[in-house]
Amino acid sequence: MREKDYNLELIRMVSFILVIAIHVSNYFCRAYGKIPDSEYLFSLAVDTIARVSVPAFFMISGALLLGREEPLEKHGKRLLRFLTVLIVWSAVYYIWNTCYMKSGFDLREILYVPAEAHLWYLYAMIPIYLVLPFFQVMCRNLSVKLEKALLIIAALAVLFNYIFWLMGAEMYYDLPLIGDRVYAYYLFLGYYIYKYREKIPVSQTGAALICAFGMAVSFGVTFAVTVIQGDHYEGALTYGMPSVVLSAAAFFLFMLRLGDGCLKPGEHARRVIDLFCGCSFGIYLIHILFLDNYKKHMEAYDLSAWIAVPGLIVVITAVSFVCVWLMRKTKVGRRIT
């Protein structure tokens, strides 16, 4: 059995908190013009920094799963688990939104529109898991030269997809291994960075600077376009944005090298990390319930973002963790979190 890499687990733990930060800060970013500029800039800074989290989840999957040899039955169980989670939480959010939030949802669209927006992650992972066995075989048999070629071709596909998206168009044919989204690319990127993390000719200082540069570009473009059009612009914060890809890759590399490779935390620290990471998927699934409840009763301008953003991140993380921890005490709870 492979020894647990606590660098990856630390990335996972940080990332699930940052996902909550995205959803909280984005609520205030979308209130541009209704909140003071200082609060908008603060919320935008949090949102921009936190954008490395979702790519990190895909890269963790690539690092752990690509190149491995697993029986087909294990893939089937993994896929069935994700489908079960998707069905259960789609039902939860359908009931929540129609009965409590009073926002309608057309069930006829459920195959291509999530019942709650953040469930898109499951829609993205299920197709990836469908082809994962073939990706694994491919990665096990690629030479170093072919690995580099794959990464370069995939990176170019992601770049051109983003350019076409900015133009309001799309490529006539998608690159078969990558498709029209960036998520499979992050899978390969995570595998490549993890495998060659000690050989990539970028220092820790360089990785930190690259990450900061990518974030600065995303922040600057977002703010500039927002001011020009008078409404919050999210195009530079999408996961296909080159600067977001750059900052996420640099963040992943930096975190992997902490502690001269695999972190060796003490027994107590390992238990804490294991506990939080064991609940991280469930926290991702459930936290929107608590954020929605805040949105239902509070407008973005009712409480200063300087207080609300960090306060909501801490409170929602804590409440979500307790709920998931309790749910995982039962067999059913473990299956759906």
Residue-wise pLDDT for 27-46, tens only, equals 999 999 999 999 999 999 99
Q: Max Cα separation, the chain?
A: 57
Whole-number pLDDT of residue 265? 65
The whole-number pLDDT of residue 116 equals 93
> Helix or strand or coil: residue 67?
coil
What six digits make up the tokens of 284? 């991702």
Q: What tokens were used for 214?
A: 């990518």
Whole-number pLDDT of residue 107? 81
* For residue 268, pLDDT beyond 70: yes
Q: Are 11 and 255 in contact (CB under 8 A)?
A: yes
pLDDT at 47 over 70: yes
Sign of the torsion angle spanned by Cα atoms 127, 129, 135, 139: positive
**Are 263 and 6 contacting, i.e. CB atoms less than 8 angstroms apart?**
yes
What was the pLDDT predicted at 264?
65
| Three-state secondary structure string covering 92-106 | HHHHHHHHHCCCCCC
pLDDT range class, residue 174, cuts 50, 70, 90: confident
Give CA–CA dist 81/87, Å, rounded.
10
Question: Exposed, middle or buried, 134 (CB in 10 Å: 0-12/13-18/19+)?
Answer: exposed
Residues facing 32 on adjacent strands: 35
pLDDT band, residue 260 (cuts 50/70/90)? low
Residue 109: per-residue pLDDT: 86
Q: What is the distance between the alpha carbons of residues 247 and 15, in angstroms, rounded to a whole number?
A: 14
The pLDDT of residue 209 is above 70: yes
